[in-house]
A = this chain, B = another copy of it.
Amino acid sequence: MAEKSVYRFRVEPQEVDFSLRATIPALGSAVLNTAGVDAQRKGFGVDALNRDNFSWVLSRMALEVDARPRQYAEYDITTWVNEYGRVLSTRNFTLCDAGGREFGRAVTQWCMIDLAARTAVDLTAVAETHAQALVDAPSPTEKPRKVRRVEPTLEAEHRVVYSDIDFNSHVNTMRYIAMMFDLLPIERAAQERAVRLDIHFLHECRFGQTLRIGCELQDELALFEIGCGETAAVRASLTWR
C-alpha cells in the first residue's frame, strides 16, 4: 500500500477574478496538473503509457470548493488513487490552505485508452501491476454524478482556436469549464459561495470545430451541455450551497 502525496501550489495573478480569488477553472486546472505530475512520478504517467501506445483519458470529475483562496496564497493538494474498476480508475484530492484547513476536494475517474484501437483498456490486468500504488483511504466526497439531459435557457457558440487545445489537438479540459463559467451571468460565476462541479466527458472536440454551449440556469443549480455537430461532448452541473 502507498501513502498519499502532497504538492504545493500558489495562486498566480492570472488565476484570479475581480474578487481577487482563484477561479474554479484555475483550481480545477491545479487538480488535474497534480494528477498528471503524480502519475508521472510514480511511473504510470502519460509519458510511460505512451510507450505502449496507451494513454489516460479523464472521464468524470467532481470538484467541491468551499472557499476560493486569494491571490498569492499558497495551498497544498493531496492526492491518492484508491480504486481500479474494470474500466475506471479513481483518483482523489483534498485542497488545504497553508494552515492545513481543507477548503476543497475532488474525485476524478479515468479510463485507459489503447491509442491504436481507440478503445478502453480493461484495467483488471493494470490493477495487479499497480496494486502497490493504491492507498487504502476512502474518497473525500461523493463520486461524480451523472448529468441528465439539459434544456438550455442560455446559449452560445464557440469556434475551437489555438489557445483552447491541448497536446492532442483536443479541447483542453479546463477550457470547457471556462466556457461554462463564461456563459453564466458574471455575478453567478464570481460569487463567493461553496460550489460543487460535476463534469462528464463523452466525446472529444477538435481544433476548428464549432461548439454549442447550453446552460439551464436555476436558483441553486446550473446544468450544461457542450456539443459539437450532433454529438454531446460534455455534460456538467454546478450546485451552489
Contacts and interface: CB of A to CB of B under 8 A. Distances in A.
A20 to B, nearest CB: 5
A71 interface: yes
A202 interface: no
Nearest to A30: B12
A207 interface: yes
Contacts of A29: 12, 14
Q: Which of A20, A40, A162, A181 has the most CB of B within 10 A?
A: A162
A178 interface: yes
B18 A168 contact: yes
Contact of A13 (B33, B165, B181): B33
Nearest to A71: B167
A20 B174 CA distance: 17
Interface string A151-190: 0000000000111011111001010001001101010011
Contacts of A20: 167
Chain A to chain B: the 9 pairs with minimum beta-carbon distance, closest first = A161-B182, A163-B178, A162-B189, A18-B169, A162-B182, A20-B167, A12-B33, A13-B36, A163-B182
Interface of A: 12-14, 16-18, 20, 23, 25, 29, 32-33, 36-37, 40, 71-72, 161-163, 165-169, 172, 174, 178, 181-182, 184, 186, 189-190, 207
Given A13-B167, A162-B190, 10 more contacts: A12-B29, A13-B36, A14-B33, A16-B166, A16-B167, A17-B167, A18-B167, A23-B162, A161-B182, A162-B189
